[in-house]
Amino acid sequence: MMEDLSDLPVAIEEASKLMGIRGFTDSPDDAAFASDALRIEVTGPTGLQLSIVDLPGLISVSNEEQSQADVDAVHAMVRSYLRSTRTIILAVVQASNDFANQGIIKIAREYDPDGQRTVGIITKPDLINVGAEAKLSNIAKNKDAIKLKLGFFLLKNPSPSEMQADSANISRAEREMNFFSSPAWKAQNLDMSRVGIENLKAFLQELLDEHLEGELPKLKDEVRRALNTLEKELDDMGPERRSLGDIRSFMTNLSMRYYQLAQAALDGNYHCSDAAFFDKKNGSRLRSLVHQRNGVFATKIRAQGHKRKITDSPPTPVSDGDLGCDCDGDQLVVTRSEMISWIWETYNETRGRELPGNYSHILLAELFHEHSSPWRKLAEEHVSAVLENVSKWIQQAVSTLFHEDRLRRDINSFCQEQLELSRKTAFKELEQIILDENRHPITYNHYYTENIQKARNDSQKELLESSLAMIGGGTFHVGHPDDRKRLIGGLQPRLCVDMDQQACEEALAGLNAYYKVAMKTFVDNICRQVVERHILAPLPEIFNPTTVSQLSDDELLRIGSEPEKEIARRQRLGASAQGLRSSLLELQCLSVKYFHSPSWASLLSTPPWITLFPALDLWGHKEFPGSGKRSQLPVTHSPDPDPSARVAHPRVRSLVASKTVNWRLGLLDSSGGSAIRMGTLHSGRPKKGAHDRDLPTAGVSTVYAFPRICVAVGGSPGRRIPPLSLTLVTPKSNFGTPCPTPALALSRRASRQCSARHGIRRGGPMGGGRGRINVARESCLTDANWA
């Protein structure tokens, strides 16, 4: 921190070195400009409350000193500031240059087409040629072709000789006014309110007030949005975890949320727990995904579960020794005769003591085991696919619930370990089901016998039809018993079949009948006993409050402790959020008409005092419904801050209105600046003239040491409020002696416009209203008039 501005050049030079600006470093190749900003904050009892950004001048053409990169950097820097709607543009132009070639005017119009925030500043009028004052004056009067809505200001900066000379006896403003008081400038009839640095400062103060008045709603919205964002980040981080109990509570709460998510995912209640998490685009609807997987598995078993697929057309041979072609991996496409050939081979290999035309139970078992051999692979693929879906779902749930990277990784790793246990038990159950299928075929499903009977009927029907087609060319007439005998005699030799062939046909029928029944049972067993029992059912139990309670203290500290980085982030977010809350509160407490924070200058030092504040934000107070102007007159009649002190209240002597006006008057007791009780109110519509009104609380109060008189004047937006006169009479003190003359403290803004009678003029909040506050310095009497 510097106490003297004379140290500023050294600081600027050091900052320029750090920024790597050419001329301050040893390298001639460094850039002439830097995009970094040097922030200088000046504090003191006087000065304007604003920020000024001194941008470099625009460069039109590159040269030996400034490269094209420097030109582009300057233009980009200037545009980055001018595009902000909160920036008041001070377009500085030199009087000695042609205004038509001043690029800043063009850029300012580009970003401020309405001219609401652009002020032209003409400098160096002492460098123009003699006789050019008239042309420059037209520009300064905003009468030239180049016009700005907010006009121009004409300034004369001190010359180098004036800056080096002793200026203790004459100020910069006086030198400036002396320059423009010369005959050449007097003849131009300049608007002197637009000349000089002091007038520019006053104008900028008023412009800043109006500009901020329009920007305040936007600023409040932005602050509120930024605060909401920070609060959401803090909420996502969860509570602080300083102790083991905090960690256990934090983990328990999150495990309960995980349990609820998992249970909702399994139940298919996607709108009961977290609708955003279960959005259909997120792929987090687990029950739906598992249903789809089960459906695909059942379809694959029906289409690819049997090793040999019978077709009516003969397949294309692929190699010697192969029966049919290899389709869909290990599936073979064969004709019916090829299927019978495979059964014949197996029949011969499994014959025992059975008589010809019979087959043992071993034949059906071996046929079924080989025919259903693809089931294992298809089931393993299905279970792995479901496990992959569950694993991804766990990652999604953990990412939603845990926002710290390390905590998310640890919890996800813990859950994946538990899922791995489910994987092992699931595949163990799958292996057991496969072993059951590899045992001797057994079923009590009546569909098996029905399918057997249907297959036999179909076979007999087919054989009968083929035999009939071979008798008499396929046509014959049965009308006599001899005809029936001839028909039966012709069918007998053709219906006689080979007994071993008949056994193979019946074995094929038995295989098909049992396969259909066993396939449906297998699909159901995989979906229920493997997927549901060992994968989905344990999912909510993977990470629930019971699981957390079983963790040791060391495990909890390892998993749930908050990293130093997150602690620092939480503190940073908390500080930022608190700053935004304070800023939002201050913005909400501002009145419709923006006023700077008062800098009090006591005119009289003898207590007690009466202070006239700018209009504060009492709009919407429950005691003052409707639209209107509210002002407070804080009054204290005892220097003793003890709240139990007996304090004399002021008395309202009279209320005078120039015309009919709605009004309310009351006493507002407060402590520490917060209104807590409104006294009895008087209200009415007094016509022109004086109307005495005494507050019921006038006299002595023992409630608080800082009572306030509160006045509300009603009106509607855009309507001028008529002048209103309120006279406050200071009573005697508690000890029977007259109170001293009230002291008056005015804001710096108000005192700047104070008249000979200490009057204050300022704009009203209703659009165009102007008023005056007059203070009569009479013993124990204060009059106040305002609109």
Tens digit of each residue's pLDDT (9 = 90 or more) over 542-591: 998 998 888 888 888 888 888 888 888 888 999 999 988 888 887 776 64
Q: Is the pLDDT of residue 97 over 70?
A: yes
pTM: 0.52
pLDDT tens digits, one per residue of 474-486: 566 666 666 666 6
Residue-level pLDDT at 522: 95
Band (pLDDT 50/70/90 cuts) for residue 704 is very low
Residue-level pLDDT at 617: 26
Band (pLDDT 50/70/90 cuts) for residue 290 is very high
- A 10 A CB-CB count for 93 gives 21
CA distance 587 to 581: 10
Residue-level pLDDT at 378: 95
Q: What is the mean pLDDT of residues 278-291?
A: 88
CA distance 513 to 492: 29
The per-residue pLDDT of the chain, averaged, comes to: 69
Q: Is the pLDDT of residue 385 over 50?
A: yes
Is residue 87 classed as helix, strand or coil in its secondary structure? Answer: coil
CA distance 786 to 76: 49
CA distance 180 to 188: 10
Q: Comparing C-alpha atoms, which of 426, 394, 427, 386 is closest to residue 543?
A: 394
Residue-level pLDDT at 475: 61
Find all residues with CB under 8 Å of 354, minimum gap 6, and list them.
Answer: 360
Q: What is the DSSP string of 144-156?
A: SSS--TT-EEE--
Q: Token match 């025919």: residue?
A: 371
CB 307 within 8 A of CB 374: yes
Strand pairing class (724-729; 651-657): antiparallel
Per-residue burial over 559-582, b if 16 or more Cβ lie within 10 Å, else e, is bbbbeeebeebbeebeebbeebee
Residue 595: phi and psi, rounded to 5, are -125, 145
User: Containing H/E element for 570?
Assistant: helix 564-589
Amino acid occupying residue 36: D
Q: Comparing C-alpha atoms, which of 595, 700, 609 is closest to residue 651?
A: 700
Residue-level pLDDT at 462: 67
Residue 364: phi and psi, rounded to 5, are -65, -35
Q: Which domains does the chain have, with CATH numbers?
A: 5-199 (3.40.50.300), 260-443+522-555 (no CATH), 597-786 (no CATH)
CB 407 within 8 A of CB 259: no
Per-residue burial over 748-770, b if 16 or more Cβ lie within 10 Å, else e, is ebbbeeeeeebbbebebbbeebe
Band (pLDDT 50/70/90 cuts) for residue 142 is confident
pLDDT tens digits, one per residue of 153-209: 998 888 777 776 655 567 778 888 888 888 888 888 888 888 888 888 888 888 887
